[in-house]
Structure 1
Amino acid sequence: MTTDDAVLSATFVEKEADRQDTVEILERAIQQFDEYFKGVRKDFDLPCHVEGTEFQKNAWNALRKIPYGETKSYKQQAILIGNEKATRAIGNANSKNKISIVIPCHRVVGSNKSLTGYAGGIDRKKWLLAHEQGVLAK
């Protein structure tokens, strides 16, 4: 994976068929991100392989249940996974989410609706939430 000017991560593939599958998935991802930023796509249907603890995976699955343009508090997310007291652990799990936007951790806010914690930075979190609200307002 890359940014405009840097490599973020790399992985090995075992054979040519795997490489072709990777190219196809990347093309789908590019298309879906383009649609998201144009305001056409509200949900991603990319195959996601996430690595983490069982708790983290449960937290990330709960994130995918937060509707486009809406927010939940960390406590509400903890309740979604059946562990109301795990608010801090939820924040920690969200910070380990490596495919934000697809797994929309930007939709989780403080209990007073404050914009807290986002690996991409608070300005990006604010922009993503405003983007989704703007699309819904059209």
Structure 2
Amino acid sequence: MNLVSKHVPSPVGPLLLGADDEFLRLIWFSTPRHPLPRSVALVQGDNAVLRETGTQLEAYFNGALRAFDLPLRPVGTAFQREVWSTLAEIPFGQTWSYGDVARRIGKPQAVRAVGAANGRNPIPIVLPCHRVIGADGSLTGFGGGLPAKQYLLALEGALPAGDLFGAA
């Protein structure tokens, strides 16, 4: 899959955006937990999808946007896509546990599989995997690192505002 890509600055570090002419396909952190899939070829450039994504990310980080409205088409298994679609249902400023997501997709025993799918989310922030936490309320793994997850949750008001500073 050939994608046009560009880097955009953010409070959680530079983000690599990748899109085709119609859909946002990926947002990658500067130090991701997983490498880009071999099937993805990136060409530096710009297009309307990347420009709109950059505009909406900037508004989100400035506190002016609570819900993204972007054309998305993440690549993954049917199960992964089901989990990622469910992530978009988590309201701004709230968190769900991995068990909550598993129950929401009708597979309450699939908590570990939900965690694995969450960890492979190719469009973090927009598909808000940072809003998924441990059953005990702990902040668990995140592709951008736990300080970035903490920053995003504090930005959204899901953590005390004091946690926003020094988190990223």
TM bracket (short chain): 0.7 to 0.9
Higher-Rg member (1/2): 1
Aligned to 2:135: 111
Q: Show structure 2 runs of 5+ residues with no match.
A: 22-45, 162-168
Once the two structures are TM-superposed, the CA of residue 2 in structure 1 deviates from its matched residue by 4.0
For 2:17 and 2:52, how far apart are their aligned partners in 1? 19
Answering whether residue 131 of structure 2 is matched by residue 81 of structure 1, we say no
Residue in structure 2 matching 1:51, options 69, 75, 85? 75
Q: CA RMSD in A?
A: 2.3
After TM superposition, the runs of 4+ consecutive aligned structure 1 residues lying more than 6 A away are 9-13
SS at match of 1:29: helix
Q: Give the alignment's TM-score, normalised by structure 2.
A: 0.69
1:116-127 correspondence runs (5 A):
116-127=140-151
Greater fraction of residues in strand: 2
Q: Deviations over 1:22-47 (max 9, x none)?
A: 61111111110011001011111110
The residue type equivalent to 2:48 in the other structure is E
Matches within 5 A, 1:1-138: 1-3=5-7, 23-133=47-157
So what's the TM-score if we normalise by structure 1? 0.83
CA-CA distance at 1:8 after TM superposition: 5.4
Residue identity (%): 42
User: Take 2:137 and 2:92, find their aligned partners in 1: how far apart are those partners?
Assistant: 16
Figure out how many residues of one structure are paired with residues of the other and give that number. Answer: 126
Change (3 A) 1:69 1:79: same
